[in-house]
């Protein structure tokens, strides 16, 4: 059983993301699901390493932010201390042949230490003061897509060395806008998988992550390699960190 997990982070890690545009790979038309080769020629893949099986159609499951969570220790990369991320991959389907320009942004979230006996799933915690528990974002990017079919978006990513003894989450921004543009998330068919999550507004300056049951998990994964010096927690708020680069 896949053991994707989400727990909210206690601090934010300071990281300046790469400015490179995402690479767009056309995987073929809608008639047949594509076959994915994870980590081809590079790195150790971490995340959802299944194969595409269905398209997430339900509009109510597309929030401003969506998230997939995971335990980085489950993928056999052999790292002793931490891992460095080189790329984030996201597979989506385009339902029509209308040329469109869409905005894309992904990020990595950190979380508290894993328990000694990790469970298969965790309930997501709230985020305070409307601040998402994100340690690194890619720059907001726009890409052009034309033909209907399946697309793989590859985001160059720089987030230095990330702790192995934490759970992590991959966030996607702009999901509602992507849905309105005819774009859909692609899911695998993993049995007994943990829920995916959508972001929702709460009360008193807090936001909540809501689980939902789908046929599988989002097709998203990381290209990683081992590293030895995880960066320390950043005590400033996400707003204060962003203000440094305005």
Give the whole-angstrom CA distance, residue 153 versus residue 102.
Answer: 12
Which stretches does DSSP call E strand in 80-178?
Answer: 82-94, 100-109, 127-128, 136-137, 141-145, 149-156, 161-163, 168-173
The stretch 210-227 carries a mean pLDDT of 87
What is the CB neighbour count within 10 angstroms for residue 243?
Answer: 10
* pLDDT at site 90: 95
Instruction: Identify the band that residue 10 occupies on the pLDDT scale cut at 50, 70 and 90.
Output: very low
- Taking all residues of the chain, what is their mean pLDDT, rounded to a whole number? 78
- Reply yes or no on whether the pLDDT at 74 is more than 80: yes
- Reply yes or no on whether the pLDDT at 5 is more than 50: no
* pLDDT at site 63: 81
Give the whole-angstrom CA distance, residue 93 versus residue 149.
Answer: 6
Give the whole-angstrom CA distance, residue 110 versus residue 13.
Answer: 8
Q: Classify strands 82-94 and 220-227 as parallel, antiparallel or unpaired.
A: antiparallel
Please identify which residue in the block is written with the tokens 């939902």.
Answer: 212
Give the whole-angstrom CA distance, residue 83 versus residue 228.
Answer: 8
Over the stretch 138-152, which tens digit does the pLDDT of each residue have?
Answer: 888 999 999 999 999
- What SS3 state is found at 225? strand
Burial group, residue 226, by CB count within 10 angstroms (0-12, 13-18, 19+): middle
Higher pLDDT, 156 or 8: 156
| CA 69 centroid distance within chain | 8
Over the stretch 108-134, which tens digit does the pLDDT of each residue have?
Answer: 876 555 666 666 676 555 565 556 667
Cα dihedral 26/31/33/37 (nearest 10): -40
The stretch 235-242 carries a mean pLDDT of 57
Instruction: Identify the band that residue 69 occupies on the pLDDT scale cut at 50, 70 and 90.
Output: confident
Q: Are 137 and 109 in contact (CB under 8 A)?
A: no
Over the stretch 159-208, which tens digit does the pLDDT of each residue have?
Answer: 778 888 777 888 888 888 899 999 999 999 987 777 777 776 655 556 66
* pLDDT at site 4: 39
Give the whole-angstrom CA distance, residue 179 versus residue 108.
Answer: 22
Higher pLDDT, 192 or 236: 192
* pLDDT at site 67: 82
Instruction: Identify the band that residue 14 occupies on the pLDDT scale cut at 50, 70 and 90.
Output: very low
- What SS3 state is found at 186? strand
Give this prediction's pTM.
Answer: 0.80
Domain segments of the chain: what residues? 23-243
């Amino acid at each position: 059983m896949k053991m994707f997990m989400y727990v909210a982070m206690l601090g934010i890690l300071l990281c300046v993301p790469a400015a490179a545009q995402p690479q767009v790979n056309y995987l073929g038309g809608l008639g047949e699901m594509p076959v994915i080769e994870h980590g081809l020629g590079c790195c150790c893949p971490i995340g959802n390493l299944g194969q595409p099986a269905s398209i997430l159609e339900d509009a109510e499951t597309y929030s401003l932010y969506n998230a997939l969570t995971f335990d980085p220790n489950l993928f056999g990369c052999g790292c002793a201390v931490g891992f460095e991320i080189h790329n984030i991959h996201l597979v989506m389907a385009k339902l029509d042949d209308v040329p469109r320009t869409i905005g894309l942004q992904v990020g990595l979230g950190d979380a508290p230490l894993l328990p000694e006996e990790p469970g298969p799933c965790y309930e997501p915690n709230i985020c305070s003061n409307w601040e998402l528990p994100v340690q690194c974002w890619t720059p907001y990017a726009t890409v052009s897509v034309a033909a209907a079919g399946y697309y793989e978006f590859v985001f160059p990513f720089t987030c230095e060395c990330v702790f192995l003894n934490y759970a992590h989450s991959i966030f996607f921004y702009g999901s509602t806008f992507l849905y309105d543009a005819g774009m859909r998330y692609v899911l695998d068919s993993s049995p007994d998988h943990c829920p995916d999550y959508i972001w929702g507004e709460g009360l008193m300056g807090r936001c909540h992550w809501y689980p939902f049951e789908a046929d599988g998990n989002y097709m998203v994964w990381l290209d990683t390699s081992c590293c030895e010096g995880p960066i320390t927690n950043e005590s400033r708020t996400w707003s204060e960190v962003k203000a440094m680069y305005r």
